[in-house]
């Protein structure tokens, strides 16, 4: 009868963090052991805050440290993961960060269960097989249109058949500036490739600012406009969806539970629902969103901007949905994020990537390689040490 013996969080960071929209500069690696098996997961940022939510003192019955609902729980099957998932949400209802913390834990639990049962995670999630996904190269806009053009050229030459440009100067200048950037991306990429644009919530809920950019997106045959507004600005999404014609809206990465993702579908009318397994509550929550999106005719896409461990985790929830073939694939990873794993999901000669056919997530952390990125954290409360960075071995 396997039970959860340990839950350890490792904060990894590049020596210097730049003030740019690149989420691969640090990572929070989660290790869970049950008997002789180990599972690995990853939480989205911020590492220190999620560590605090793992170990904080209880505030009241609905605000408990996350670890309390996980440690010593049985792990025989899928129902045990669901039970832990539910218990964390109940016991940490008033602890806002808990959903991000739960995410990495839930991912590690599925990885662990997969290893215990000798099955890839996607199969445990109910898919008979995993379809190949077409990775889109996910990059930041260049500071200038020339730089964006060059980036797009390089992506095309590297064999990618789809690319997404986002953040950077986009939305911060004039409509004309944005027009030049989008046209440079299209020109560099070539006319047959899929082009996606990510506004990174830059317009808040300003529908006019967003709709001013629709025309150039149409001219450049952009497939989706991502996050024009804050996650949850549903009426703004709905309004823009009615104006954007063949440019579909994409969003949902900020969702930290399955309800919020459903609302983006039901009330925001996004055409693509983007889910970060490291935020929404792990694979348990992400699979529910995939099922819901499938039922509603909305396309599921992963959101990920960190390691290939997180990449594998982000694809498992929709691995078996053949029609939902696009997949976010960060191509400007910082060394930390690339070196985090021994295996990588590399596009084949057709440009597709495939999930590993190995137990769990099929991705092994490179413990020797990442030791140099390990951050020492100490948290003391009334003289008692609640957290100290564990030994990574």
Tell me which residues touch a copy of itself (CB under 8 A): 13, 17-23, 25-26, 44-49, 51-53, 56-63, 89, 93-97, 99-100, 167, 200-201, 230, 232-235, 254, 256-257, 259-260, 262-263, 266-267, 279, 375-383, 386
Q: For Cα atoms 240, 222, 276, give the angle at the middle one, nearest 5 degrees.
A: 75
Are the beta carbons of 236 and 224 closer than 8 angstroms?
no
Q: Which lies closer to a copy of itself via its Cβ, residue 214 or residue 379?
A: 379
DSSP three-state, residue 88: helix
Question: By C-beta, is 79 or 378 nearer to a copy of itself?
Answer: 378
Q: Return the exposure string of 158-182: e unless at least 16 CB atoms fall within 10 Å of the residue's CB, then b.
A: eebbbbbbbbbbbbeeeeeebbbbb
- In the complex with a copy of itself, the residue whose CB is nearer, 8 or 266, is 266
Selection from 142, 97, 85 nearest residue 283 by Cα: 85
Nearer to a copy of itself, 80 or 253 (CB): 253
**Residue nearer to a copy of itself on the CB measure, 230 or 352:** 230
Residue 111 structure tokens:
């990885």
CB 9 within 8 A of CB 46: no
- Reported as type and span, the H/E element at residue 329 is strand 326-330
Phi/psi at 343 (nearest 5 deg)? -95, 155
Closest CB to a copy of itself among residues 91, 223: 91
CB 94, min distance to a copy of itself, A: 5
Diameter over CA atoms, the chain: 63
Q: How far is the CB of 205 from a copy of itself (least distance, A)?
A: 8
Q: Which residues contact 157 (CB under 8 A, 6 or more apart)?
A: none
Shortest Å, Cβ 93 to a copy of itself: 7
Our CB check for a copy of itself shows the closer of 88 and 233 to be 233
Separation of alpha carbons 37 and 76, rounded Å: 12
Backbone φ, ψ for residue 273 (5° rounding): -105, 120
Task: Tell the smallest beta-carbon distance from residue 338 to a copy of itself (Å).
Answer: 16
Closer residue to a copy of itself in complex, CB, 253/324: 253
Closest CB 161 distance from a copy of itself, rounded Å: 27
Show the DSSP H helices in 118-206 as ranges: 121-124, 145-157, 175-189
- Closer by beta carbon to a copy of itself, 323 or else 385: 385
Other beta carbons within 10 angstroms of residue 94's beta carbon come to: 12
Q: How far is the CB of 382 from a copy of itself (least distance, A)?
A: 5
In angstroms, what is the minimal distance from the CB of 351 to a copy of itself? 28
Q: What is the smallest separation between the CB atom of 13 and a copy of itself, expressed in angstroms? A: 7
CB of 59 to a copy of itself, least distance (A): 4
Count the alpha carbons within 13 Å of 16 in the hemisphere toward its beta carbon. Answer: 3
- CB closer to a copy of itself, 251 vs 360: 251
DSSP string, 208-219: HHHHTTHHHHHH
Start-to-end CA distance of the chain, whole Å, equals 25
Shortest distance in whole angstroms from residue 135 CB to a copy of itself: 21
Handedness of CA 279, 282, 286, 288 (dihedral sign): negative
Residue 60 DSSP class: B
């Amino acid at each position: 009868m396997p039970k959860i013996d340990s839950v350890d969080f490792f904060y990894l960071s590049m020596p210097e963090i730049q003030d740019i929209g690149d989420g691969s500069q640090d990572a929070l690696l989660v290790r869970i052991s049950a008997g002789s098996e180990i599972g690995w997961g990853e939480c989205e940022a911020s590492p220190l805050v999620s560590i605090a939510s793992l170990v904080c003192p209880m505030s009241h019955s609905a605000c408990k440290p996350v670890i309390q609902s996980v440690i010593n729980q049985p792990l025989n099957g899928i129902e045990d993961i669901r039970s832990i998932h539910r218990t964390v949400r109940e016991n940490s209802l008033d602890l806002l960060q808990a959903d991000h913390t739960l995410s990495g834990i839930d991912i590690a639990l599925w990885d662990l269960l997969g290893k215990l049962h000798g099955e890839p995670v996607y199969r445990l999630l109910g898919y008979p097989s995993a379809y190949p996904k077409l990775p889109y190269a996910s990059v930041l806009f260049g500071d200038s249109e020339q730089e964006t053009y060059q980036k797009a050229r390089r992506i095309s030459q590297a064999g990618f058949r789809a690319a997404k440009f986002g953040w950077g100067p986009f939305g911060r200048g004039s409509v004309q500036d944005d027009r030049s950037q989008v046209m440079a991306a299209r020109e560099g990429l070539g006319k047959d490739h899929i082009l996606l644009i990510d506004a990174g919530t830059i317009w808040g809920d300003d529908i006019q600012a967003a709709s001013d950019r629709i025309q150039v997106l149409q001219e450049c045959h952009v497939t989706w406009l991502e996050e024009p507004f804050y996650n949850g600005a549903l009426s703004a999404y709905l309004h823009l969806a009615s104006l954007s014609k063949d440019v579909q809206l994409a969003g949902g990465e900020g969702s930290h539970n399955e309800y919020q993702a459903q609302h983006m579908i039901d009330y925001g009318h996004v055409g693509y629902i983007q889910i970060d397994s490291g935020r929404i509550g792990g694979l348990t929550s992400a699979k529910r969103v995939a099922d819901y999106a499938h039922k509603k005719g909305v396309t599921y896409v992963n959101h990920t901007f960190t390691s290939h461990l997180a990449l594998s985790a982000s694809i498992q929830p929709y691995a078996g949905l053949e029609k939902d073939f696009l997949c976010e694939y960060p191509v400007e990873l910082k060394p930390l994020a690339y070196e985090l794993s021994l295996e990588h999901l590399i596009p084949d000669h057709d440009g597709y990537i495939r999930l590993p056919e190995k137990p769990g997530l099929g991705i092994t952390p490179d413990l020797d390689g990442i030791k140099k990125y390990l951050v020492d954290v100490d948290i003391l409360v009334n003289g008692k040490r609640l957290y100290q960075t564990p030994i990574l071995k």
